[in-house]
Amino acid sequence: MKVSELKHSGLKKWVEEAQALMSPEAVEVCDGSQAEYDRMILITKEAGLATELNPAKKPGCVLYRSDPSDVARVEASTYIASKSKDDAGPTNNWVDPAALKKTMTELYRGCMKGRTMYVIPYSMGPVGSDIAKIGVEISDSPYVVASMHIMSRVGTKVLDVLGTDGFFVPCLHSVGKPLAPGESDNGQWPCAPLDKKYISHFPETREIWSYGSGYGGNALLGKKCLALRIASVLARDEGWLAEHMLILKITNPEGEVKYISGAFPSACGKTNLAMLIPTLPGWKVETVGDDIAWMKFGADGRLYAINPEAGFFGVAPGTNNESNRNAMESIKKNTIYTNVALTEDKDVWWEGIGYDAPGKLIDWHGKEWIQDKNNKNQPPAAHPNSRFAAPARQCPAIAKEWEDPKGVPISAFLFGGRRPKTIPLVNQAKNWIHGVFMGSIVGSEVTAAALDVKAGVIRRDPFAMLPFCGYNMGDYFKHWIKIGQSHDESKLPKIFFVNWFRKNDGGKFIWPGYGENSRVLAWIFDRCDGKGGAMETAIGTVPTPDAIARPNGVSESDMKEILNVDIEGWKAEIADIRKNHYPKFGDKLPKELLVELDAIEKRLNS
């Protein structure tokens, strides 16, 4: 399709303006076909940017190596450019929108010379769903086009739903490396220097402008940019929820089904939980989504969730058949790998894959690498944030409802963090407001090696949304409270806090995790119906020691310890929240959360 054939006058005008500003050599409107995807891969292979993997081992798979300056989300260059700095809040980088647009307009001027401008119409969520939203990304990267094919629903069918005047989120993207006549990338990943990278969000005008990066959430603008930062603003204004949450379908031995959604900071087992293989006999767990959930109220007053994405964009290192067999099965074909290592027989390898490096590798820098297990300082062969992008439909555990345009009814929310002490294995909120309080204090303990801070310090990540909320988080807490106040609480999801990472005094994990977490999910499933052994405590409702079937290696005394409410630890927790966490939000912090804080402190002292 040509730009002149676009039926949406606003879209056509926007594309023409971008073309005039960026001066591409050619313009293509993406149709979403397999032929188009194959052509994007071929273009990058011919440019020396992609390596085709061994078709006998990884059919339809390719490997890319990015520039060392372009390997992850650049949070320092990610902006929420609301009109008021107060609307961005203390957890976001704010820049005046007029000033930012002026700076970026000059960067965009002529930035696509020598390249093709791709117009990518995409739907976040099943095409035509009442919960879905449409975006259109303009990009000069065939890698982005191919990745968007996997991660969203792309093409003509989206334009058909958009019609002549439908709402869409305009997303500008350029790698920021124009080509002179006759110049090519010469096999070098195109991007701008680190100080010229911008990932900018304009909440009031619902726009996303990205420049200088060709990688991940900086460039695939449907993912974190639209699905969380802009969608969180839309959700606030329209009365729904856009959350950094997985979605599970759980079936008990009697055939009853419930859907559970959960938010976890990084390194807390979120992807593993999303694709969990239960060890508990008779129980079944299936995947609806692994990263993001959009939830709107149905006619019956319940929250219905869709996974707005069409693929998995996962971290490769640490993924193996023990930690996540379903993920390993999902990425055996038709997968885009970025910054993992290449074996001599054109397969992939990364640290934590479950076996030693098979001989000489080519590392993510493109250099030879031979594993030296005696050298603890050997740089990794795969970048720690190396990724795979695979179609969700390839997951063996994908639920048949994962593309249901109505969404699935959510019975429970889970929040959790990596906490060696204090937080019990599982704890149910007393009510909605108590649950919002629990979500607002989510955090993980970090080590000195991880963040160059004193071991045991808690990095708070409220609702696991810290880098992804598109507005002031104090107002975000208020939105959650308002959801509870304006709807029948009996129909809202029950809220739970989980912690798979409690350690004993010897520093060993008490709970084995992975598939054994199904035992905790079974208790949560029953609690949604008011069943299951439970005890009221100062911090909420915890299981009785015999309410959760113990896995092998977990003793009765272990269960008592892991479910114990550490009064002194919780007093320290409350003090930290009062002194270091809640004050960040100033007068935007809802008074209801301070009332909840006081109430828990009073219960702990009684």
CATH 3.90.228.20 residue window(s) in the chain: 243-307+402-605
User: How much is the pLDDT for 456?
Assistant: 62
Please pick, among 30, 61, 111, 268, the residue that the annotation labels catalytic.
268
Residue 544 has what pLDDT? 95
Tens digit of each residue's pLDDT (9 = 90 or more) over 374-420: 999 999 999 999 999 999 999 999 999 999 999 999 999 999 999 99
Identify the three-state secondary structure at position 109. coil
Angle between helices 473-485 and 432-440 (to 10 degrees): 160
Q: How far apart are CA 393 and CA 397, in angstroms?
A: 9
- Percent of the chain with pLDDT strictly greater than 90: 95
pTM: 0.96
Q: Residue 445: its pLDDT value, please?
A: 80
pLDDT of residue 458: 83
Chain region(s) in the chain for CATH 2.170.8.10: 312-394
Task: DSSP letter for 426, please.
Answer: E
DSSP secondary structure letters along 230-293:
IHHHHHHHHT-EEES-EEEEEE-TT--EEEEEEE--TTSSHHHHHT----STT-EEEEEESS-E
- Assess whether 268 carries a catalytic annotation: yes
Contact indicator for 291, 273 with CB cutoff of 8 Å? no
CATH code at 3-30+75-238: 3.40.449.10
Helices (H), 400-468: 432-440, 448-451
Taking Cα atoms as reference points, which of 342, 341, 343, 314 lies closest to residue 330? 314
pLDDT on residue 454 = 54
Q: CA dist 578 to 135, 215, 384, 434, Å?
A: 40, 38, 35, 16
Asked if residues 70 and 210 have their Cβ atoms less than 8 Å apart, the reply is no
CB-count exposure of residue 165 (10 Å: 0-12, 13-18, 19+):
exposed
Q: Give the residue ranges of the chain where pLDDT is below 50.
A: 447-453
Name the fold adopted by 312-394. Phosphoenolpyruvate Carboxykinase; domain 2 (2.170.8)
CATH assignment of 243-307+402-605? 3.90.228.20
pLDDT value for 516: 96
d(CA 594, CA 390) in angstroms, rounded, equals: 43
Token pair of 183, please? 């110049």
Q: Write down the residue that tokens 């695979």 correspond to.
A: 390
DSSP secondary structure string for all residues of 215-232: SHHHH-TIIIIIIIIIHH
